[in-house]
Amino acid sequence: MIPWGGLSCCLSAAALYLLGRSSGRDAEALKCVFRVNQLKELAQLLDKESKVLPLVVTLCGRVGSDTPVNCEYSGLRGVIVEETAEQHFLKHNDAGSWIQDSALMLSMSKEVPWYLDDGTGRVHVVGARGASGFELNIASEVFEESGRSLVRGTLDYLQGLKMLGVKRIERVLPVGSSLTVVGEAVKDDIGTVRIQRPYKGPFYVSPKTIDQLISNLGKWARWYRYASVGFTVFGICLITKRAIQYIMDRKRRWELQRRCPEVFGGLDIT
């Protein structure tokens, strides 16, 4: 019989090992990127260093935009805004009881051209939502209760529903927030400097510093390696136990066949 439990543990160990190697490579890649201390230096650096090879850098600054979005619920000004609206209701199930459920009504996203500014210069950021480490914080979470009209309530009840209200969530990358970006720095024909996903290399947009990113990746790489070793040992133990059990079962059957050949004579025990 195939020891599926042991094989599953060994396959999980292999997957964790690969994740650990990937995290370790990412940490090493971040250690090798060029650190830009002042954004005003980046344009000069591009003129000198990016003639042959792409220039992958890390830089820090505060988010800014010439055309920010005014958020409806939080009152913030942001450069990336995502709004979702969920209808919450009670649903009558087959067992005759009411259970709470929800359905997505609206999912909307807005983004305007934006940049990082450190007081010495500006660098435009392109494609941030596809970068590792990027996330939008919840700026506003509002629950609007449904109206209590008799006609609407009766119709919903006949359909097996009781409307509770609408939950609206607003996620924003606000103007003025501090970010670290790792990516390829380029300059277009009119001299605008921007940072984007490199063809090959790391691309991060995160509120963490570069040193924190490297430290976190190193911790994950170690955790994956330890977990991989643990799953490997456990899987080998399961496979060995099953193998020993199989050998012992075969041995007992051979012993029974030797002692009682008239019972097992017609059986194939191979």
Q: Round to whole Å and give the CA distance between 143 and 130.
A: 30
One-letter amino acid for residue 197 of the chain: R
How does pLDDT run across 93-149, given as a tens digit for each residue?
A: 766 677 888 888 888 899 999 999 988 889 999 999 989 889 898 988 888 877 655
Strands 55-64 and 178-187, how do they pair?
antiparallel
- 79 Cα distance to chain centroid: 21
- In this prediction, residues 86-93 reach a mean pLDDT of 79
- 31: helix, coil or strand? helix
C-beta neighbour count of 92 within 10 angstroms: 14
**224: Cβ contacts below 8 Å, ≥ 6 apart:** 16, 17, 19, 20, 23
Share of the chain above pLDDT 70, in %: 85
How does pLDDT run across 8-39, given as a tens digit for each residue?
A: 777 887 887 777 777 777 788 888 888 888 88
pLDDT for residue 160: 64
- 129 Cα distance to chain centroid: 12
Share of the chain above pLDDT 90, in %: 22
One-letter amino acid for residue 257 of the chain: Q
Residue positions counted in the chain: 270
Angle between helices 4-32 and 210-259 (to 10 degrees): 160
**255: Cβ contacts below 8 Å, ≥ 6 apart:** none
Average pLDDT, the chain: 81
Residue with the bigger pLDDT between 238 and 166: it is: 166
Contacts by 37-41, CB closer than 8 A, 24 or more apart = 38/118, 38/120, 38/121, 39/116, 39/117, 39/118, 39/120, 39/121, 39/122, 39/123, 39/193, 40/120, 40/121, 41/120, 41/121
DSSP element (H, E) containing 57: strand 55-64
User: Are 73 and 140 in contact, with CB atoms under 8 Å apart?
Assistant: yes
- In this prediction, residues 161-169 reach a mean pLDDT of 82
pTM: 0.74
pLDDT greater than 60 at residue 151: no
pLDDT for residue 94: 67
- In this prediction, residues 71-100 reach a mean pLDDT of 83
**145: Cβ contacts below 8 Å, ≥ 6 apart:** 164, 165
